[in-house]
Structure 1
Amino acid sequence: MEESINALKEKFPDVDYRPLKLDLSSQQAVRAAAAELLSWTDVPSIDIVVNSAGIMNIPERTMNEDGIEIQFATNHIGHFLFTCLIMPKLLKAAETTERGSTRVVNISSGSPTVGSMRWSDMNFEKINKDLPEAEQPAYATHRLFGAKDPENKSYLPLEGYNQSKVANLLFSIAVNKRLYEKHGILSLTVHPGVIPTELGRSALPETMEAVRAMAENKVFTYKTLGAGAATGVVAALDPQLGAGETRDGKENWGVFLVDCQISDKATPLAESSAEAEKLWKLSEDLVKEKFAW
């Protein structure tokens, strides 16, 4: 962390930096980090939160200390809890800025274009083909990424990731319902693109081989770090973006961004207001706390 701060100081010496240790996989650690941030009296308000950290493709089904599948716990529940706990400082910022200037940006992936929530089996205990049809994985996508016989598996590493990243978009939709009209706080979700980072370091060998083959065959093109960050910057700062609308039968059009543009590629379930409310209730139940502002 200090190495990153020092590198940033060389390029932007006039900016103040403050490190904060945050283990998103642990609710106890998240609460401790939020309490520390809230104690910073010299930082009375926060204008923008970018929820970016995450894990991917954990090879074996793994539960965190709270009994939640580790990718969902880290990539959604950790961000949900941290954002809600530090909301007083965002609300303070929103008091003196234009509507939509104070923002929560969730860094997702391409998962909302293929995935949905696994409501009847959040911890991946049931065989995929036995799930309700709407909750079953996109089998063709998993085969493309090297999975064998995905219908007869219960846990697929990529599906754990997909569910957590769909949750990122639904979280934004739920935040907008609660905070945009009342307080002017806007939330958006972005797919940053495929970027060669250490995110996929836990992937199985067959998954890595499939990814290499797709890259060679131009199924996707890797983005640079700068290009990968660009859509998140747009989501954080573009004054023309809003809380979403119903357009051409699609709910919440305008909340999901890809390649610095609004995307219409999310599945109906990934941008559903009803699904977002269901996720909010589940999230509150899992953290054992209700939030209202």
Structure 2
Amino acid sequence: MPATTHPEFNDQTEALEVAKAFASSIHGKTILITGVNPGGIGFATAEAFASQSPSHLILAGRTPSKLTASITALRTKHPATTYHALEVDLSNQASVRAAATTLLSWPDIPQINILINNAGIMNLPHRTLTAEGIELTFATNHVGHFLLTCLIMPKILAAAEAEAEAETEGNTTTTTRGATRIINVSALSASIAKMRWSDPTFAIKNKDLPVSEQPNYDILRQWGTPDPEERSYVPVEAYNQSKVANVLFSIGLTRRLLEKYGVLSLALHPGIIETELAREFSAEQTAALEQMWRVRYGSYRSLGAGAATSLVAALDPGLAVGVGERREGKENYGAFLVDCQNV
């Protein structure tokens, strides 16, 4: 298993501390982060990167006013970086395609060194399908990121090619394999949830699914869901499925891109942070979940601590070592980080 180079980093480590530790991997780079708004871990992630003078920082989100506020705040503290706002609604494929076309047209952004797929929604109270017939949580948290990543891949591959050329010419003292990265912010629920392959839109009752696809009913009850066997759409399970997809996406990207192009993809759990992600929770759900979190996790972590694992995933060179090898007959393609460490 790939190991991190800072085993002392943990659940209390702040993103700014991680950025300082890997400053040379940030300086002069172009970084794209989705889901950036003041008060969220996307902003904390952007602020940590901005502290070490990347060349370009692209902030993507669906609300122009929040992007403007984020850029204003970052530029005030870190004026050396050039900031770009990219408006995109990840649940809308036309919007994603338009955003990708815009980004690909920017002549001053020839490459993207790091992509952080951070945006997400959770706990939508009612089953909703997009214009393409995709369940809204899945469309936003996974499909939108999948499409955006694929569409802007030419600039990601351009970054990997530039890194390899620099290594060949002797302009770097470290290997560049895996330096260009695509990071998918998942959740701890990915370790206990399943993909609903036969019914991704939640049209069938859980009890009528193949046994291998039925959710963990005990977990759903802990989240305040009565009679989960009799339900088809369960808001938290829609979120959980999208988070499993984030991990599978990272594994698939690494399998396809690392050996051929030098691009590495990792997934992670950022921790339990009090953000707008919980804005759809009812008062009863919030109370139940806060009780569960206090028992399991103690307390919420800060935004900076919530962003720290994304920084480790994006920057730590140790996480590229050994990926793609076969160990004990199994392919070592995946990596999932929790509390700034690979698990």
TM range (shorter): 0.7 to 0.9
Q: State the one-letter code of the partner of 2:209.
A: L
Deviations 1:52-93 (A, max 9, x none): 001001011111121100000000000000000000001100
Return 214-223 or 109-118, whichever deviates more: 214-223
Alpha-carbon shift at residue 48 of structure 1 (Å) = 0.4
- Structure 1 residue runs without a partner (length 5+): 264-293
1:127–1:152 Cα contact (<8 Å) kept = yes
Cα separation, 2, equivalents of 1:253 and 1:223: 29
Alpha-carbon shift at residue 235 of structure 1 (Å) = 0.4
2:254–2:334 Cα contact (<8 Å) kept = no
Cα separation, 2, equivalents of 1:140 and 1:166: 18
Q: State the one-letter code of the partner of 2:206.
A: N
Q: CA RMSD in A?
A: 1.6
Return 100-109 or 249-258, whichever deviates more: 249-258
Indicate whether 1:79 and 2:159 are aligned.
no
Indicate whether 1:262 and 2:342 are aligned.
yes
2:251–2:334 Cα contact (<8 Å) kept = no
- Of residues 100, 123, 126, the one that matches 2:201 is 123
2:181–2:265 Cα contact (<8 Å) kept = yes
1:244–1:255 Cα contact (<8 Å) kept = no
Q: State the one-letter code of the partner of 2:335.
A: V
1:59–1:204 Cα contact (<8 Å) kept = no
Alpha-carbon shift at residue 260 of structure 1 (Å) = 0.6
Deviations 1:74-131 (A, max 9, x none): 0000000000000000110001211100000000111211111000101001110111
The residue number in structure 2 matching 1:195 is 273
- Of residues 4, 7, 11, the one that matches 2:77 is 11
The change in CA–CA distance for 1:144 and 1:261 in structure 2 (over 3 A counts) is: same
The residue number in structure 1 matching 2:253 is 175
The change in CA–CA distance for 1:248 and 1:155 in structure 2 (over 3 A counts) is: farther
Cα separation, 1, equivalents of 2:300 and 2:327: 31
Cα separation, 2, equivalents of 1:134 and 1:164: 17
The change in CA–CA distance for 1:83 and 1:199 in structure 2 (over 3 A counts) is: same
* Superposition pairs of residues 156-171 of structure 1, within 5 angstroms: 156-171=234-249
- Of residues 117, 123, 139, the one that matches 1:51 is 117
Alpha-carbon shift at residue 251 of structure 1 (Å) = 5.5
Runs of 4+ in 1 over 3 A off after TM superposition: 215-220, 243-254
Partner of 1:119: helix, strand, or coil? coil
Alpha-carbon shift at residue 218 of structure 1 (Å) = 4.5
Alpha-carbon shift at residue 205 of structure 1 (Å) = 3.4
Q: How many residues of Structure 1 are paired with residues of Structure 2 in the alignment? A: 263
1:241–1:254 Cα contact (<8 Å) kept = no
Indicate whether 1:27 and 2:105 are aligned.
no
The change in CA–CA distance for 1:8 and 1:66 in structure 2 (over 3 A counts) is: same
- Of residues 202, 216, 239, the one that matches 1:138 is 216
Partner of 2:198: helix, strand, or coil? helix
Q: TM-score, normalized by length of structure 2?
A: 0.74
Q: With CA pairs under 8 Å and 6+ residues apart, which has the higher RCO, 1 or 2?
A: 2
Indicate whether 1:204 and 2:270 are aligned.
no
Instruction: Report sequence identity in percent.
Output: 56
Partner of 2:183: helix, strand, or coil? strand
Q: State the one-letter code of the partner of 1:231.
A: T
Q: State the one-letter code of the partner of 2:75.
A: K
The residue number in structure 2 matching 1:112 is 190
The change in CA–CA distance for 1:30 and 1:246 in structure 2 (over 3 A counts) is: same
- Structure 2 residue runs without a partner (length 5+): 1-66, 164-175
Indicate whether 1:95 and 2:166 are aligned.
no
1:105–1:189 Cα contact (<8 Å) kept = yes
Cα separation, 1, equivalents of 2:140 and 2:133: 12
2:160–2:261 Cα contact (<8 Å) kept = yes
Cα separation, 2, equivalents of 1:94 and 1:52: 21
The residue number in structure 1 matching 2:133 is 67
Q: State the one-letter code of the partner of 2:260.
A: K
Alpha-carbon shift at residue 216 of structure 1 (Å) = 3.9
2:254–2:333 Cα contact (<8 Å) kept = no
